[in-house]
Amino acid sequence: MDIVSENRSFGGRQQVFRHPSNTCGCEMTFGAYLPPQAEDRPVPVLWYLSGLTCTHENAMTKGGLQEHAARHGLAVIFPDTSPRGEGVADDDAYDLGQGAGFYVNATRDPWKPHFRMYDYILSELRALVLDHLPVTDRHGITGHSMGGHGAMTLALRNADLFDSLSAFAPIANPTQSDWGRKQLSAYLGDDETAWHAHDSTILLEEHGWKDELLIDQGASDQFLDLLRPEALAATMARRRQPGILRLQPGYDHSYFFVNSFAGDHVAWHAARLT
């Protein structure tokens, strides 16, 4: 890994790394916040997956997680949302291609050679973080919008690898939403049964989650109809899944929303990781 930048933040270090990715077949960049406690001992890890159009940098600079992570002694990893660079397929639309990896392993061309964000996060980047950073093998995961979808699907399918789970305004039912059907058909093909492994509402119905969930959703979110939190809430009630889904009055889909509740989510994960 090559270090791109390092800044002091709340007594810890906000770093950015670049590395060649065998999984995605290109260079990938990610951010890593190491709290002051990491100077003395390995610390647990909170993964934060970002949404459509974002890079590793958006949540790193706008999410406000560092102050809370420093207080609770958590490292925070900010992966990119897709492969990038020359030779990586792209689309003119903001919601497909670079910046819109949807945390799946694409099986269709032209996406198949590079768009393998599911394996990248779950295996390659996880191994890099464990090998090179002062962290323990205890992991929580959260994310916003497309990243909330990614966090929930990765954790629900791999409960042995994650100890805590939350989300900010996740795309909760992508198989029934225009934010999902377009991308899943492009990346995975027209067989909708193949999409089910990337729909957190379906996965929660099938597998449940081993602990409580925390979901925050802005009640004034301009994309509420695309996110479909009501589908996830109905499944939580039907399955009697322990957890909290909060509709926050007046909040939209922006990083102001994420920043407002970042402290709650970091504390939620810290209680389960430390």
SS3 string of the chain? CEEEEEEEECCEEEEEEEEEECCCCEEEEEEEEECHHHHCCCEEEEEEECCCCCCCHHHHHHCCCHHHHHHHCCEEEEECCCCCCCCCCCCCCCCCECCECCCCECCCCCCCCCCEHHHHHHHHHHHHHHHHCCEEEEEEEEEECHHHHHHHHHHHHCCCCCCEEEEECCCCCHHHCHHHHHHHHHHHCCCHHHHHHHCHHHHHHHHCCCCCEEEEEECCCCCHHHHCHHHHHHHHHHHCCCEEEEEECCCCCCHHHHHHHHHHHHHHHHHHHC
Catalytic residues: 145, 221, 253
